């Protein structure tokens, strides 16, 4: 029986396939798309008057991702939901996160890539005995009504405060800091903790800067990091990300962007 002869693969077709494979291999970065979280959290992230998404965290992290050859898809998420999406691998990059053991289970962290930013206590102007407050540990035993955002970490003094079950039961939680500002203004709570830049910016925008004021109580002065989902990122990418981020900060890009938003 005569052996079955298969037709030879045309040389021209083979050459085209090889060239196509080489072209695809040379474009790995084009396939890189990362989801980056934002929310209404000025001056760190916000919707600008012209419809674009901007802010300190948005501009810096978007620039870093683009330098690494990645396309950026912005995802609007409240903080608590963003953490869950990061854990599930449906969010890649979460700026402004503080490291703790619970989050380290599912997230890589960039390290301290930005200068420390202070969280301070803001109160309603004229609140009795507010001048006597020196630190967060002064609140237990008082009738001070504190508001806080859900799943937001304000540093070690806040964790210690919340370890007091009697006082923790009296803290009012809300996912929106805007709602909390209005609650302070209406007298439903006495004060909230916020980043000093975010707090002053938001109070100006809401027309509440004369009615809600910062105190001298510094709750924390830690550096927020950038968190990455362990389900979608590896340590090498995080290392390269941190190096690119540090290069921008060394050039003063963070100060330039922050001044643009705070002074406008």
Whether residue 253 sits in one domain with residue 193: no
User: Are residues 191 and 251 part of one domain?
Assistant: no
Q: Tell me the CB-side half-sphere exposure of residue 66, using CA atoms within 13 A.
A: 10
- Give the span between the Cα atoms of 260 and 250, in whole angstroms: 18
In a domain, 23, yes or no: no
Domain count of the fold of the chain: 2
Which residues face 194 on adjacent strands? 120
| Claim to verify: residue 186 and residue 229 sit in the same structural domain | no
52, exposed or middle or buried, with CB in 10 Å at 0-12, 13-18, 19+?
A: exposed
**Do 124 and 216 fall within a single domain?**
yes
Which single residue is written with the structure tokens 């619970």?
102
Highest average pLDDT, of 164-168, 195-199, 255-259, comes from: 164-168
In a domain, 9, yes or no: no
Would you say residue 75 lies in a domain? yes
Q: Are residues 165 and 190 in the same domain?
A: yes
Are 93 and 163 within one domain?
A: no
Mean predicted lDDT score pLDDT of the chain: 87
Q: Are residues 109 and 240 in the same domain?
A: yes
Same domain, yes or no: 134 and 168: yes
- Domain span at residue 84 reads 30-115+223-262
Q: Report the CATH number that the domain containing residue 85 is assigned in CATH.
A: 3.40.190.10
Kindly indicate the confidence band of residue 28, based on its pLDDT and cuts at 50, 70 and 90.
Answer: very low
10 lies in some domain = no
3-class DSSP assignment, residue 201: helix
- Flag whether pLDDT at 24 surpasses 50: no
Q: What is the pLDDT of residue 10?
A: 56
Does 109 share its domain with 227? yes
Judge whether residue 26 has pLDDT over 70: no
78 shares a domain with 34: yes
Q: Are residues 178 and 62 in the same domain?
A: no
CA 178 to CA 254: how far, in whole Å?
25
Has residue 89 been placed in a domain?
yes
Say whether pLDDT at 177 is over 50: yes
Print burial letters for 28-42: b (CB count within 10 Å at least 16), e (below 16). Answer: eeeeeebbbbbbebb
Same-domain check for residues 178 and 236: no
């Amino acid at each position: 029986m005569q052996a079955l002869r298969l037709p030879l693969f045309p040389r021209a077709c083979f050459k085209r396939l090889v060239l196509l494979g080489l072209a695809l291999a040379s474009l790995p970065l084009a396939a890189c798309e990362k989801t980056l979280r934002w929310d209404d959290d000025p001056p760190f992230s916000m919707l600008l008057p012209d419809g674009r998404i901007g802010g300190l965290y948005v501009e810096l992290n978007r620039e870093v991702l683009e330098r690494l050859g990645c396309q950026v898809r912005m995802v609007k998420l409240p903080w608590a939901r963003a953490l869950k999406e990061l854990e599930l691998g449906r969010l890649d990059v979460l700026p402004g996160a503080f490291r703790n053991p619970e989050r380290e289970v599912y997230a890589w962290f960039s390290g301290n890539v930005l200068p420390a930013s202070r969280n301070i206590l803001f109160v309603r102007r004229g609140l009795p005995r507010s001048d006597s407050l020196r630190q967060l540990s002064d609140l237990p035993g008082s009738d001070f009504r504190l508001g806080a955002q859900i799943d937001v970490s304000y540093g070690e003094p806040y964790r210690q405060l919340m370890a007091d079950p009697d006082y923790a039961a009296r803290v009012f939680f809300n996912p929106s800091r805007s709602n909390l500002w209005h609650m302070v203004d209406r007298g439903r709570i006495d004060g909230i903790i916020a980043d000093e830049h975010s707090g002053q910016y938001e109070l100006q925008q809401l027309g509440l800067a004369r009615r809600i004021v910062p105190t001298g109580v510094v709750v924390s002065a830690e550096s927020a990091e950038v968190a990455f989902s362990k389900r979608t990122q590896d340590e090498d990418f995080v290392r390269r990300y941190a190096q690119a981020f540090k290069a921008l900060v060394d050039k003063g890009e963070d100060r330039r962007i922050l001044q643009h938003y705070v002074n406008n």
